Structure 1
């Protein structure tokens, strides 16, 4: 009897330990350095609830962040020329602290996306308004060193309101980290770069320098399937997602499908895209009139089949994230300033809200990391 009792105690200790080691990082369009701009919450992986652990002031409009090991990299958005920055923090889960390390100029107006190489030694940033891609070496202590490369773009496309010039909106490493793909909303292109990690100047325009998307589509965010053979690009202006076959730095379109139901004909504003960790489902956020998550099953050939829609229970879902277990999806609604946690059914792919809403004014982005 004592042995059974001991086993039960150990079991509940393990459950409690697992519930304490997953953290969720949020940014906010605070518009004022005296207001909180970065938030860190702890995710209870049993109940799906969030509890606040850290808030950080002193940074204007953290529009996007990414987590790499103990480092948290943040881009601060500004529409003032040359005022945007990329910042580095160290997260210490044992004492629940987020320590500022340093910052560098973003190399262009309005930085909106960051990615880190798997070795933790390179940071790549995309600037939206003053369209450019900038690359930085990272020291072992997480310091962002001075920019070593920058590529500027200018050409636009057919939408006279949104595409008068180039607008880089995402910078994504390939599955093997030997290429980088940048979505250009303004020029209707997915730009490709070869990445040679062992060189001091590692970024070169790829043999296939860009993949054209449908004119007026506005490619925004981009992601790879966990198997590395397929890629998916959400197109903001047309409310579509384009599925690609991927091999050795080259993309081949295999399908283009609406992210919205037939009920909606205009104002799509599709924003973010992520596959489930098991590679069975793809999720796409829609803003505009819909404010939902479109859910697709991923077929063996990489093509998509629409299976449903889930309201985000707020307005303007800019980003969302799925935890590494695939159990939870967390979505940010910028206009209503609320966050919701959804439990994901691993068999059907459908989502179910759990817990209460979390209020973060002008919440801009979210990332989940298990420590």
Structure 2
């Protein structure tokens, strides 16, 4: 091989190595419940998918951003403020540096926001108001700020466990045409049609309207399968995962499966739920006493679940979790022990292994990954 070919090969390998290193790194955003002299808002880290190493980059001060959503173009982040302000906040985001800047804040409607999502085209955000028992749609202006002409839909009803509605989440469908809420207080999954052109009232109930789960189950969070044909919801009060088929805004319940082992008789406290990017496994967490991750395999044809393992989290009050873009790691927020706990994920078996790695933050509540520029 002559010297010119050697130089070309070296240049190619060097460029490939650089590109791989760039692809391996993401921004890691951590939301917290804020308090004086402790957590102050959202913290940004570099995250390397090759070894799960992290480096602190920056932070932005905003009141209790316990849950947030990032737009598809990565230019904006929208957060709830689960504090006295009960606001929804718009922030600009620099996908290169990871810097966040507060743009504006607006009231969340009836108050008590705990969850937020954004539609794929960046036209609206949707807030689940746990305290107010409502679903709120807030318009996004062209500059990324939030408009004030909101739609606030009040849920009605109660269950054998709760005496009023508690809207705990609002998930946008993969086709961007529907929003599904989990109402812990009424045991209902409510389905709304979404049309951004119908400002200020982009949401309308579908013909189906809702699906009622088991009495006293308390649905909390939900997620779609990557194939867009299946949908899953975790319940807080009876600790189950509910599997649905999904088609054109209609959900059909096909399975309900317990998260805890049959020998467990305490409170399950179901919390968060996610499907791996390859669609092979579903993970659902419990908080407080049980405090573990239930791991299920997913039948690719039916969408049904089979338990394959349970992993102790090791912290306390694990509010949310996230699988990193490489699929190799899982990060779990442990609100009660003030830490984010790292697990290594086996992509073949779906099982998890504690790594011993942690990030310390006061009352962490949410983590997500954003691709770097």
TM-score category (smaller protein): over 0.9
Whole-angstrom distance in 1 between the partners of 2:331 and 2:149:
33
Separation of aligned partners in 1, 2:250 and 2:96 = 43
1:29 aligns with 2:28: no
Residue 61, structure 1, aligned to residue 60, structure 2? no
Which one of 122, 129, 132 corresponds to residue 131 of structure 2?
Answer: 129
TM-score after normalising by structure 1:
0.93
**Residue number in structure 2 paired with 1:96:** 98
The answer to whether structure 1 residue 77 and structure 2 residue 82 are counterparts is yes
1:264–1:289 CA contact under 8 A, matched in 2: no
Structure 1 unmatched ranges of 5 or more: none
Aligned 1:313-332 pairs, distance under 5 A: 313-332=314-333
Q: Which runs of 4+ in 1 moved over 3 A?
A: 1-8, 31-35
Q: State whether structure 2 residue 51 is matched by structure 1 residue 50.
A: no
Provide the rounded CA distance (Å) in 2 between the counterparts of 1:101 and 1:195: 25
CA-CA distance at 1:35 after TM superposition? 4.5
Do 2:328 and 2:347's aligned partners in 1 also have CA atoms closer than 8 Å?
Answer: yes
CA deviation after TM superposition for structure 1 residue 355, in Å: 5.9
Identify the residue that residue 258 of structure 1 maps to in structure 2.
258
Contact 1:242 1:257 in 2 (8 A): yes
1:174 paired residue number: 173
Q: In structure 1, the residue corresponding to 2:198 is in which secondary structure?
A: coil
Q: Name the SS for the 1:63 alignment partner.
A: coil
Instruction: Provide the secondary structure at the position in 2 that maps to 1:47.
Output: coil
The answer to whether the 8 A contact 1:184-1:220 is kept is: yes
> Structure 1 residues 316, 34: CA separation in 2 closer, same or farther (over 3 Å shift)?
closer
| Conservation of the 8 A alpha-carbon contact between 1:178 and 1:195 | yes
SS in 2 for 1:72: strand
Find the counterpart in structure 1 of residue 245 from structure 2: 245
Q: Is the 8 A contact 1:337 1:362 kept in 2?
A: yes
* SS in structure 2 at match of 1:16: helix
CA positional deviation for 1:15: 2.9
Q: Structure 2 unaligned segments of length 5 or more: list them.
A: 1-5
C-alpha distance in 2 between matches for 1:350 and 1:329? 11
Mapped partners of 2:237, 2:98: distance in 1: 40
Distance 1:239 1:356, change over 3 A: same
Of 92, 109, 112 in structure 2, the residue corresponding to residue 110 of structure 1 is: 112
Question: Quick one: which of 4, 7, 10 aligns to 2:15?
Answer: 10
Say which of 20, 24, 29 aligns to 1:19: 24
For the Cα contact (< 8 Å) 1:135–1:147, is it kept in 2? no
Distance change >3 Å, CA 123–CA 33, structure 1 → 2: farther
Matched, 1:193 2:192: yes
Aligned equivalents of 2:220 and 2:195: distance in 1? 25
Give the number of aligned pairs.
363
Q: 2:184 & 2:165 partners in 1: Cα distance?
A: 7
Are positions 1:358 and 2:359 aligned together?
A: yes
Match of 2:227 in 1: 227
After TM superposition, give the deviation of residue 250 of structure 1 in Å. Answer: 1.7
Q: 1:184 to 1:13 in 2, by over 3 A?
A: same
How far does the alpha carbon of each residue in 1:77-116 deviate from its partner, in whole angstroms, 9 at most, with x for none?
13x5xx3000011111333311111111011232011111
Alpha-carbon distance between aligned partners in 1 of 2:66 and 2:172, rounded to the nearest angstrom: 20
Contact map agreement 1:132 1:168 (CA 8 A) in 2: yes
SS state of the match for residue 146, structure 1? coil
> How much does 1:285 deviate?
0.8
Cα RMSD for the two superposed structures: 1.7
- The 3-state SS of whatever aligns with 2:146 is coil
2:194 and 2:316 map into 1 onto residues whose CA distance is 38
Return the offset for 1:230: 0.9
1:349: how far off? 0.9
Q: Secondary structure at the match of 2:15?
A: helix
Q: Which moved more, 1:305-314 or 1:191-200?
A: 191-200
Counterpart CA distance in 1 for 2:322 and 2:172 is 17
